[in-house]
Amino acid sequence: NDTIYGGDGNDLLIGGQSASDLRDVLNGGAGNDTLIGGYGNDELQGGDGNDSLDGGFGSDTLAGGPGDDTLSGGPLSDRILGGDGDDFLNGGYGFDRLTGGAGADQFYHMGVASHGSDWIQDYSAAEEDRLVFGSSSAKSDFVISYANTPNAGDGSVAEAFVIYRPTGRNRLGSGRRR
């Protein structure tokens, strides 16, 4: 259970790799940082710069911040926030919640049944967001469901949708304020 802060410049921060490490907090700060979570349910914050965040094993929260970030979850259910910039978000395995933020973001799904279902909360064609599928999959392997957000109260709510493989488990959600 560690809290590690990087400074200005390009940092490499690695969380605890033991099963007894329950939660690490890694904060890269300014610069192009690489953050790698450990075994527990970690929190990784990239900060300013073009950062690379890898959640590790647990149910992690990854926040890229300003910059063009690459964020990858692990085998469990993760929460991934891109922030401002053109980000690449990969939930990994599990049932993940992905929010790209401002910019032309790419949301990746491997296209294998064990990859789980991803809830993409702020997909926007107007921002040139894209869905990217693994090379062994076809678009027909997925069911993409767009959720309406009439109860949001204003026009600033992005459309939300769910990607899931037809496995009998459906995860539904609504939009989120931008």
Tell me if 161 is assigned to some domain. Answer: no
Query: How many domains is the chain built from?
Result: 1
Residue 160 lies in a domain: no
- Domain that residue 66 falls in: 3-135
Inter-CA distances, 40 with 11, 21, 75, 78, 163, Å: 21, 6, 12, 12, 26
- Is 109 part of a structural domain of the chain? yes
Contact between 64 and 49 under an 8 Å Cβ cutoff? The reply is no
User: Of 109, 6, 117, 94, which Cα lies nearest the Cα of 53?
Assistant: 6
- Tens digit of each residue's pLDDT, the chain (178 residues): 889 999 999 999 999 888 777 899 999 999 999 999 988 999 999 999 999 999 999 999 999 999 999 999 999 999 999 999 999 999 988 889 999 999 999 998 887 767 777 888 888 878 898 888 877 776 677 766 655 454 444 444 455 555 655 444 434 344 433 3
CA distances from 161 to 6, 121, 143, 145 (A): 35, 7, 10, 5
Residue 11 lies in a domain: yes
**Could you tell me if residue 120 is inside a domain?**
yes
The answer to whether position 58 is within a domain reads: yes
Asked if residue 169 belongs to a domain, the reply is no
